[in-house]
Amino acid sequence: MITVANAIQIVKDQTRALEFEKVGLASALGRYLAEDIIADSDLPPFDRSQMDGYAVRAADTLTVPAKLKIAGESAAGRGWHNELKRHEAVRIMTGAPVPVGADSVQQVELTRELDGGSEVEILEPVTFGRSIVKRGSEIKAGQTVLRAGERINASAVAVLASFGYASVKVGRLPRVAILATGSELVKVDQQPGEDQIRDSNNFSISTYAVLAGATIERLPLAGDDIAQLKQQIAGAAELSDIIITSGGVSVGRYDFTKTVLQELGAEIFFERVALRPGKPTVFARLPNGTLVFGLPGNPVSVSVTFNLFARVAILTMQGSEEMEMKAGTALLSKSIKPAKDRESYLPARLSTNENAELIAEPLKWGGSSDFVGFVRATALIIIPPGTGAIEAGTKVRIVHLPD
């Protein structure tokens, strides 16, 4: 049995980023950059006024009211391209270029335009440099503003637009096929008969995979039948980068997933992880290169093992620089007595208390099949193996579940 950390490392080592593709800026949200983004111009591209007011020389406003001659007007998109001389002011708008010779802008509220608009009184001295954003002070042409591997969020879209990236290189989205196995399963729109249950894993896995960026295909449910499993996995391999199965990886008489992978010539990297819930997790690669995650059937084990392992592969394939769940610490809201044998990932709900401390409330749940109890979980508490009872108020390690 290997540790969780080892298993995650193996997934990273065995997964390659897919090729890049170019997407239009409008569909770039949530994708991972496959190129560094370089500023093609200074920002701002000229000394820019931050206020509506008057561009002046600060020295002309030392004694107030200072009466100055209005030499012209600089508006956004239509600047005044002469040199401002002593005892002159230029009426200026937010976003407009500051004329040569001016060194500050006094906001309009602290001025009074005199009759006919030929003169203005500056009512308070303005400090040198006031309300001017100097050319290149935000970014200089040629500087790297975003790096390959970063996720494109809404503010990154604005940056890309500013520097003329009408399209951008991003990692291709992995195609993930999802296969729920088990002869007890019926489809969601069916009434379970005797000894049957509705399949939920097909939907939870595909939803988590979509959250991680994958394009997904849900395969028809497979019974515990070697020939049928083999045919479905072999067929899916041709069309997918990753196959994620659920169920059939334990030591039961009808647990056939591993047998089938072996018969298809897969290289199995691990098949048991020192983890609770989720011990019998399988990670393998088929001869054509398709990766396979064989997750245990229990719905909570599915959530834990998907997010610990399969999500890492989906993000690595997209070129993401961060693939693991966001880790942190929180204070336990009540004492717990974890099982000692394996590293445990306990469902918890996070909140913030009045001292701005993060609190993890361990959820009451009935084990790895209690996915109704799991619904409220926003994080997992990580308990090292061999840990005894933990008191309320203890600082514990957590990972945030994606949502």
Q: Which residues bind Mg ion (CB under 5 A)?
A: 182, 247-248, 297
| Contact (CB, 8 A) for 246 and 257 | no
Taking CB under 6 A as the rule, does residue 271 contact ligand AMP? no
- CB closer to Mg ion out of 46 and 203: 203
CA 346 – CA 396 distance, rounded (Å): 11
The residues pairing with 352 across neighbouring beta strands, listed in sequence order, are: 358
| Contact (CB, 8 A) for 32 and 319 | yes
- CB closer to ligand AMP out of 20 and 309: 309
Among candidate residues 173, 163, 305, the one with its CA nearest the CA of residue 247: 305
Report the nearest approach of Mg ion to the CB of residue 298 (Å).
Answer: 10
CA 194 – CA 95 distance, rounded (Å): 71
CA 241 – CA 158 distance, rounded (Å): 31
Point out which span in 2-10, 138-146, 295-303, 336-344 binds ligand AMP (CB under 6 A).
Answer: 295-303
CA 344 – CA 4 distance, rounded (Å): 10
Instruction: Tell me, residue by residue from 328 to 367, as one string, x for binding to ligand AMP by CB under 6 A and - for no binding.
Output: ----------------------------------------
Report the nearest approach of ligand AMP to the CB of residue 199 (Å).
Answer: 4
List 184, 217, 225, 370, residue binding ligand AMP (CB under 6 A): 184
Alpha-carbon distances of 58 from 54, 75, 79, 120, 137, rounded to whole Å: 11, 21, 20, 14, 21
Taking CB under 6 A as the rule, does residue 252 contact ligand AMP? yes
Taking CB under 6 A as the rule, does residue 199 contact ligand AMP? yes
- Binding partner of residue 200 among ligand AMP, Mg ion, none, CB cut-off 5 to 8 Å per kind: ligand AMP
Report the nearest approach of Mg ion to the CB of residue 393 (Å).
Answer: 41
Taking CB under 6 A as the rule, does residue 296 contact ligand AMP? yes
Residue 313 carries which DSSP code? H
Q: Residue 257: CA atoms inside 13 Å, Cβ hemisphere, count?
A: 29
| Contact (CB, 8 A) for 344 and 372 | no
The residue with tokens 């107030």 is: 64
H/E element, 14? helix 4-14
Taking CB under 6 A as the rule, does residue 278 contact ligand AMP? no
- Binding partner of residue 201 among Mg ion, ligand AMP, none, CB cut-off 5 to 8 Å per kind: ligand AMP
Residue 310 carries which DSSP code? I
Among candidate residues 353, 233, 319, 331, the one with its CA nearest the CA of residue 282: 233
Alpha-carbon distances of 218 from 75, 164, 206, 244, 255, rounded to whole Å: 57, 38, 7, 10, 21
Taking CB under 6 A as the rule, does residue 303 contact ligand AMP? no
Alpha helices in 116-174 (DSSP H): 154-162
| Contact (CB, 8 A) for 248 and 182 | yes
Taking CB under 6 A as the rule, does residue 304 contact ligand AMP? no
Point out which span in 48-56, 61-69, 142-150, 240-248 binds ligand AMP (CB under 6 A).
Answer: 240-248
Report the nearest approach of ligand AMP to the CB of residue 270 (Å).
Answer: 16
| Contact (CB, 8 A) for 253 and 264 | no
Point out which span in 17-25, 133-141, 176-184, 236-244 binds ligand AMP (CB under 6 A).
Answer: 176-184
List 1, 100, 141, 197, residue binding ligand AMP (CB under 6 A): 197
- Binding partner of residue 150 among Mg ion, ligand AMP, none, CB cut-off 5 to 8 Å per kind: none
Report the nearest approach of Mg ion to the CB of residue 221 (Å).
Answer: 11
CA 206 – CA 306 distance, rounded (Å): 10
Report the nearest approach of ligand AMP to the CB of residue 248 (Å).
Answer: 5
- CB closer to ligand AMP out of 17 and 185: 185
Report the nearest approach of ligand AMP to the CB of residue 313 (Å).
Answer: 20
Residues 58-77 that bind ligand AMP (CB under 6 A): none
Q: How many residues bind ligand AMP (CB under 6 A)?
A: 19
List 68, 89, 152, 185, residue binding ligand AMP (CB under 6 A): 185
List 99, 213, 278, 299, residue binding ligand AMP (CB under 6 A): 299
Alpha helices in 131-290 (DSSP H): 154-162, 201-211, 226-237, 257-263
Using CB under 6 A, list all residues that contact ligand AMP.
180, 182, 184-185, 197, 199-202, 246-248, 250, 252, 296-299, 369
